[in-house]
């Protein structure tokens, strides 16, 4: 695991350590089984093509889960992901490299909790942002641990 | 399926109606299968020894694991009332309040919270918001989720 991130260490405007993913059709089948999403556009090429797609597409929510992992990797064991919103803007295809990225937009203390907000996105190798996201996390404060 | 009604009209009287809740005991294999599907090696989700020594005192599920508890079945059940040729997902909003621990019994409730239609390139398109709420066996609110689905 990475070192614990503390509220005091977060700089607004800074980038989150990116997470690179290369979803395969096998991974799409694993995801379909894990969540019970059996929409054939994610595993049946003929069906996908009959719907006007070039081939099977990656589940938007799998990319959403990648963005979730981007955040849980970054915030460490004592950080908490409070909110994750994803908006699926474009198609992703198996075999493509997807890079999940994020940038800190805000930090504030509310009701004694230390919050950080980030804009997230997943981009393909053409640098098209196919999924946009917003995350709100709660981080530990060094002040709390040094009491 | 009632004849003579459009796909959108068939869903209209389902808006706001509570679907049958799903009760699910969280097992190690479900969390492992989910983490492997995502390719997320975080030891909090799978390594018993590591997780026991953590502040959680045991294995927890990743926050997005919520998506694996009945939501897709609910969406499929609702969409099976229609004959949309294409069903796409527009967005997901997840709010997490409590971690899901191994052995928790989660009760998930489901409803359509919003439905509207728009004339698009492909004809009439339905924009449907699926809402789900999750409680654990201590009646604590674990998470809420909104999922936007487009059918045409």
The string of pLDDT tens digits covering residues B4-16 is 567 788 889 899 9
Answer whether residue A116 is part of any domain.
Answer: yes
Q: How far apart are the first and last CA of chain A?
A: 25
How many CA within 13 A on the CB side of residue A123? 10
Lowest-confidence region among A46-55, A62-71, B82-91: B82-91
Separation CA A27–CA A43 (nearest Å): 10
Answer whether residue A118 is part of any domain.
Answer: yes
Alpha-carbon distances, residue A126 vs A92, A96, A97, B125 (angstroms) = 11, 10, 10, 30
Mutant choice from A21, A41, A65 vs B, greatest count of B C-beta within 10 A: A65
Which residues 6+ apart lie within 8 Å of B49 measured at CB? Answer: none
pLDDT at A147 > cutoff 80: no
- The 3-class SS string of A49-67 reads HHCCCCCCCCCHHHHHHHH
Q: Do A51 and B85 touch (CB under 8 A)?
A: yes
Q: Reduce the DSSP state of residue A114 to 3 states and report it.
A: strand
Note the ipTM here.
0.94
Q: Which residue of A has its CA nearest to B33?
A: A34
Token pair recorded at residue B129: 């918001």
Number of H-type helices and E-type strands within chain B: 5, 5
Answer whether residue A67 is part of any domain.
Answer: yes
Q: Which residue of B has its CA nearest to A52?
A: B86
Domain of residue A97, residue span: 11-23+60-142
pTM (two decimals): 0.95
CATH 3.40.50.2000 fits B7-26+63-151, yes or no: no
User: Mean pLDDT across the stretch A47-59?
Assistant: 93
Answer whether residue A111 is part of any domain.
Answer: yes
Could you tell me what percent of chain A has a pLDDT over 70?
97
Separation CA A85–CA A76 (nearest Å): 20
pLDDT tens-digit profile of B74-114? Answer: 998 999 888 888 888 999 999 999 999 999 999 999 999 99
pLDDT tens-digit profile of B44-82? Answer: 999 999 999 999 999 999 999 999 999 989 998 999 888
Q: How far apart are the first and last CA of chain B?
A: 17
A24 touching B, CB under 8 A?
no
Answer whether residue A3 is part of any domain.
Answer: no
Nearest to A144 by CA among A112, A100, A110, A97: A112
A121 touching B, CB under 8 A?
no
Contact B7, B123 (CB under 8 A): no
Contact A66, A86 (CB under 8 A): no
Mutant choice from B35, B41, B63 vs A, greatest count of A C-beta within 10 A: B63
DSSP label of A93: -
User: Mean pLDDT across the stretch A47-60?
Assistant: 94
The CATH number covering residue A129 comes to 3.10.129.10
pLDDT at A2 > cutoff 80: no
Q: Which residue of A has its CA nearest to B152?
A: A51
Q: Do A36 and B72 touch (CB under 8 A)?
A: yes
What is chain B's alpha carbon radius of gyration, rounded to the nearest angstrom? 18
Phi, psi of A69 (to 5 degrees): -65, -40
A88 touching B, CB under 8 A?
yes
Query: For chain A, how many structural domains are there in total?
Result: 1
User: What pairs with residue B5 in β-bridges?
Assistant: none
Q: Which residues of B touch A59 (CB under 8 A)?
A: 89
Answer whether residue A48 is part of any domain.
Answer: no
Q: At what angle do helices A25-35 and A60-75 cross, to 10 degrees?
A: 90
Out of A39, A59, A77, name the one closest to residue B44 (CB).
A77
Q: How far is A120 from chain B (nearest CA, A)?
A: 13
Answer whether residue A53 is part of any domain.
Answer: no
Answer whether residue A103 is part of any domain.
Answer: yes
Helices of type H across B19-81: 28-38, 43-46, 48-53, 71-79
Q: How far is B146 from chain A (nearest CA, A)?
A: 9
Mean pLDDT over the full length of chain A = 95
Q: Do B42 and A88 touch (CB under 8 A)?
A: no
User: What pairs with residue B108 in β-bridges?
Assistant: B22, B134
Q: Do B67 and A64 touch (CB under 8 A)?
A: yes
Mutant choice from B39, B77, B149, B150 vs A, greatest count of A C-beta within 10 A: B39
């Amino acid at each position: 695991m990475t070192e614990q991130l503390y509220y005091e260490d977060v700089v607004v405007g800074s980038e989150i350590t990116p997470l690179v993913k290369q979803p395969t059709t096998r991974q799409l089948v694993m995801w379909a089984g894990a969540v019970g999403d059996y929409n054939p556009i994610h595993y049946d090429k003929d069906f996908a093509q009959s719907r006007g797609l070039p081939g099977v597409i990656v589940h938007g929510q799998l990319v959403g889960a990648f963005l979730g992992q981007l955040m849980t990797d970054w915030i460490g064991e004592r950080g908490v992901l409070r909110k994750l919103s994803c908006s699926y803007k474009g198609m992703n295809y198996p075999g493509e490299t997807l890079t999940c990225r994020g940038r800190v937009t805000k930090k504030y203390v509310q009701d004694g909790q230390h919050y950080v907000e980030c804009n997230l996105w997943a981009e393909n190798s053409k640098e098209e942002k196919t999924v946009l996201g917003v995350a709100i996390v709660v981080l530990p404060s060094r002040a709390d641990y040094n009491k | 399926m009632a004849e003579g009604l459009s796909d959108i009209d068939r869903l209209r009287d389902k808006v706001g109606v509570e679907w049958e809740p799903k009760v699910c005991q969280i097992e190690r294999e479900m969390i492992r299968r989910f983490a492997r599907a995502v390719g997320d090696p975080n030891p909090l989700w799978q390594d018993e020894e590591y997780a026991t020594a953590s502040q959680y005192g045991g294995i927890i599920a990743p926050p997005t694991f919520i998506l694996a508890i009945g939501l897709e079945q609910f969406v499929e059940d609702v969409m099976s009332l229609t004959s949309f040729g294409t069903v796409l997902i527009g967005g997901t909003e997840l709010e997490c309040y409590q971690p899901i621990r191994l052995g928790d019994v989660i009760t998930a409730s489901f409803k359509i919270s919003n439905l509207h239609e728009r004339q698009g390139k492909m004809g009439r398109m339905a924009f449907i918001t699926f809402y789900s709420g999750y409680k654990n066996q201590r009646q604590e609110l674990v998470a809420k989720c909104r999922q936007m689905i487009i059918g045409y």
